[in-house]
Structure 1
């Protein structure tokens, strides 16, 4: 059984005026955790994470996988959306990840990612961890670890990177529409920082920038030692959402996948 992971973190978005702070730390933190669980990890940070490099790295992750291998893909950065052109989206928009060079090369669309994921061989397990996008509000949980000051949403509106003549007719928050590229049976699982209509938040803890979802996911993994993804998700939900972090972490996958041992 092979274990391989791709961890992407992008703080720097040239030409958009929308830089973030915690995404590179997120990627380093996920990489260190995955390495401690026996994964070989590829890191793409800031200028390394171009549109071409991200697409190529996801292809490489999938291409070498064999039956019973486990693949993990973590992404921390902005999410965005464009108008759907092929009619496969009920909401009329294609969701996307934002590469470092989005202002010149555009986003990495969910359609492209689904196409790559679909090339996996039978019996290859995939875990996608997304700390990006969305919007909303609630009141519970515990955000006492959070530093003073306001968190920043990890959503890049189309007007920040798209030419005025190309802008869609209406702007709204983006969700990662990647679940369509994940298999409804077997070991596929998605852990995301929030619901489709919410944002994930970029903030800091004890003076160190992080994504809120990443911080609490790794804190609960260390301190609570959950055995399954289902237990892990439940522990993360004891911290979010709150008034300052209005995001509701999500888990998608079959009952079998949710109850699998973490990172196995």
Structure 2
């Protein structure tokens, strides 16, 4: 239809199979979200790119492949486009060199090849959006709060929090984090450099595909430009971990706690939900299930109360 704007998505699930960092529910998370995007939010199956590290995957979720998919998503954007990125996998924190940084760390996601994608990379992506297009990021990973650098907190650490009870689930819970020291050890084992500077190892291994965090770039490219159309729904606060649940021998599918909570929230209410409502309701779901992670929302004031993924209104037949 002439004038109809695009609804495009990139979905990434990393289970890190046959490694010491193996997770179980991340691929299930993004496949479930793909179905939801098509059935509820009007996305076309052909406009959703899925990257997983499942056996026989045609395109692995390496750092370069993820950034290439996101660049295609953003650089082709036009006013009114609804863009969505869902990530389920490990996250980490990098010691910050920025004076006065709140947590003294910067947030990153961990692609299957450990080519970290950082909060600065997501900031630059948002800065490249066409005026009037929106980019919603849902990151079901540890330390995901603040994953878009300098995005305004709407629901986060300064919000009133009530801790839920300790989880009594019999399922196997894995925290979706790889400690910084483990990442540094993994990278340094593959390079000839003897330094403890992670940037040196990243640049030697990945070159121009390494995060902007480790390259010399203009600071102007990485500054927030005022209220923007970046929207981050994070599975937890920057100093918290997110859970990967594996029912194991008990049967049932493995899942990420936050991704599953969002799916539950969307099933419970048919009509449109604001970004704020999705996060607040997901918090309540997780609290009721006994999890001690607190989803957060980072975006402009206007987008906090905008409808999640601009859910199309149903037309009367």
TM-score with structure 2 length normalisation?
0.69
1:54 CA drift (Å): 0.9
Partner of 2:6: 2
82-91 or 118-127: which moved more?
Answer: 82-91
Partner of 2:292: 246
Asked if 2 retains the 8 angstrom alpha-carbon contact of 1:194 and 1:247, the reply is yes
Q: Distance in 2 between matches of 1:112 and 1:87?
A: 19
1:85 CA drift (Å): 5.1
Structure 2 unmatched runs, 5+: 54-58, 145-156, 189-193, 199-212, 214-221, 311-317
Partner of 1:93: 105
Q: Distance in 1 between matches of 2:172 and 2:195?
A: 31
Q: Distance in 2 between matches of 1:198 and 1:86?
A: 21
1:243 CA drift (Å): 7.9
Work out which of the residue numbers 25, 29, 44 in structure 2 matches 1:26. Answer: 29
Work out which of the residue numbers 248, 252, 255 in structure 2 matches 1:210. Answer: 255
Partner of 2:308: 262
251-260 or 17-26: which moved more?
Answer: 251-260
Asked if 2 retains the 8 angstrom alpha-carbon contact of 1:6 and 1:73, the reply is yes
Q: Distance in 1 between matches of 2:167 and 2:242?
A: 14
Q: Distance in 2 between matches of 1:77 and 1:93?
A: 19
Asked if 2 retains the 8 angstrom alpha-carbon contact of 1:13 and 1:101, the reply is no
Q: Distance in 2 between matches of 1:86 and 1:255?
A: 26
* SS of corresponding position for 1:237: helix
Partner of 1:198: 240
Aligned length: 249
Work out which of the residue numbers 216, 223, 226 in structure 1 matches 2:268. Answer: 223
Asked if 2 retains the 8 angstrom alpha-carbon contact of 1:78 and 1:154, the reply is yes
Structure 1 unmatched runs, 5+: 170-176
Paired residues for 1:75-224 under 5 Å: 75-84=87-96, 89-102=101-114, 106-134=115-143, 139-140=163-164, 148-163=170-185, 167=196, 185-204=227-246, 207-224=252-269
1:239 CA drift (Å): 1.4
The C-alpha deviation readout for 1:31-79, integer Å capped at 9, x for no partner, is 1111222222111101610111011111111011101111111110001
The C-alpha deviation readout for 1:171-212, integer Å capped at 9, x for no partner, is xxxxxx9xx877652543211111111111000466211100
Asked if 2 retains the 8 angstrom alpha-carbon contact of 1:123 and 1:186, the reply is no
1:256 CA drift (Å): 2.0
* SS of corresponding position for 2:277: helix
How has the CA–CA distance of structure 1 residues 235 and 90 changed in structure 2, closer, same or farther, with 3 Å as cutoff? closer
Asked if 2 retains the 8 angstrom alpha-carbon contact of 1:182 and 1:189, the reply is no
* SS of corresponding position for 2:48: strand
* SS of corresponding position for 1:48: coil
Q: Distance in 2 between matches of 1:97 and 1:151?
A: 19
Q: Distance in 1 between matches of 2:31 and 2:48?
A: 10
**What RMSD, in angstroms, separates the aligned Cα atoms of the two structures?**
3.2
1:6 CA drift (Å): 0.7
* SS of corresponding position for 2:125: helix
135-144 or 91-100: which moved more?
Answer: 135-144
Asked if 2 retains the 8 angstrom alpha-carbon contact of 1:187 and 1:257, the reply is yes
How has the CA–CA distance of structure 1 residues 8 and 181 changed in structure 2, closer, same or farther, with 3 Å as cutoff? farther
* SS of corresponding position for 1:60: helix
TM-score with structure 1 length normalisation?
0.81
